[in-house]
Amino acid sequence: MIEVLRFLVLFFFAIPVVIFGFYGLILVYFGKIRKPHKETDKPAFESEFKPFVSVVTATHNEEMIIAKKIENLLSSNYPMQNREMIFVDDSNDSTPSILEQYSLKYPNIRLIRFSNRMGYSPSMFAGVKESKGDIIVLSDAGSFHDGDTIFNLVRHFGDPKIGAVTGKDVILNANEEVGSSEAFYLRILNFVGTAETRMDSTFYFKGEASAVRKKLILDLSGIGATFDTAVALFVRQKGYKAFFDPEAKFYEYAPKERNERVKQKTIRAAGWIKILLKFRSMIFNRKYGKFGMLTLPANFGMLIIAPVAILLGLVSLAVLTFFDPFFALYAWGVLAALALLSIAASRHLLRTFLDFEYSLLKALYEIAFTKKKHDQIDKVLSTRR
């Protein structure tokens, strides 16, 4: 009994160490060591490439900030005659009336109105179907683009191999405790995006500021996962690549409270998990290059296998404590030492990791047992400022 428990403790804790360690080394190689040096490694774009684009934003009860959002899009440096802004709204507050006022003033602002709650993905797909541009720019009501964001996203589509481009998140309240922790987390995520792009194609796609070829997502409806999360895998499945551009910046507020941050991350985690399960046939599939052979298996391991293994490891260790206190005390000591080392490295590292793993477990539970859709625009109010 004791030997079995010891084995389980070592086995379950070894799983995340191997997954994070193995993929971490790969990311460091592509992100830090192997710099772009071939012409094929360099982004192909031209400053004069400015096709007509459709910016699509789904809104639900955003009366507090919708005017600010519209003014932000209007202030873009991308030529006004080369873009339209489509808002798909299912609000029951004054959001649609504000949108209607702007649409009367600016002919390139269009409103698609639903009387019933549609949810994020159906709203976005409705906007895509009504769009005129060959390039769709995804935007979020709670985020704000840099003046050059649209151009920095769109310029990559001069390369026929690029199917989608995603941008870099900048936290506006990084001076607050949760905002500072979120900014630390995003530095890691942005590094992952850079490394995955250099390796093949990025998995992490941000609906706040991204762009995709319209022809590639016309059949995305009913995918069973969040619209923006699905884009990166959908275009890679069709032979194109998803590109992360750190110069395509967008700005947003992190939640004020930690429980709000966990709520936000649980929704995002559920989207990642659902899309991995939906496109599981791409995992270890040589047809999709390093994306299929490395990126997807590693993310499947980090997002689904690792949090379950950590939970089972802690449960096994707790049980072992009653049967073999000496070995268990040693194991608890190792975990405590690792926690202290992470705090010494960065005060945000341990909290970020714990929040991340808890959000993944919560998302897995909700997917498996509550059948929650995670597709409503369930915003955190403190992010609307």
Domains located in the chain, CATH noted? 1-385 (3.90.550.10)
pLDDT of residue 219: 86
Mean pLDDT in residue range 193-197: 95
The confidence band for 39, taking pLDDT boundaries of 50, 70 and 90, is very low
Report the pLDDT value the prediction gives residue 35, as an integer from 0 to 100: 67
| Coil, strand or helix at 36 | coil
CB 185, CB 177: distance < 8 Å: no
Q: What is the pLDDT of residues 225-267, one digit of tens each?
A: 678 888 999 999 999 999 999 999 999 999 999 889 988 899 8
Three-class SS of residue 243?
strand
Q: Measured between alpha carbons, how far apart are the two ends of the chain, in Å?
A: 56
Distance from C-alpha of 273 to C-alpha of 357, rounded to nearest angstrom: 13
What is the structure's pLDDT at 224? 61
With CA atoms as reference, report the closest residue to 99 among 128, 74, 78, 129: 74
- Helix ranges (H only) for 136-207 are 149-154, 177-199
pLDDT in tens, 263-291: 889 988 998 999 999 999 999 999 999 99
Partner residues linked to 85 by β-bridges: 55, 109
- C-beta atoms surrounding 296 within 10 Å: 24
DSSP 30: I
Place of tokens 């404590």: 321
> Exposed, middle or buried by CB within 10 Å (0-12, 13-18, 19+), for 319?
middle
**Beta-bridge partners for 54:** 84, 136
DSSP category for residue 374: -
pLDDT at 308: 97
Q: Strand ranges (DSSP E) for the chain?
A: 53-59, 83-89, 109-113, 135-140, 143-145, 162-171, 209-213, 241-252
More confident residue, 47 or 196: 196
pLDDT at 41 over 60: no
- Token readout for 228 is 């923006």
Q: What percent of the chain has pLDDT over 70?
A: 95
Report yes or no on whether pTM surpasses 0.75.
Answer: yes
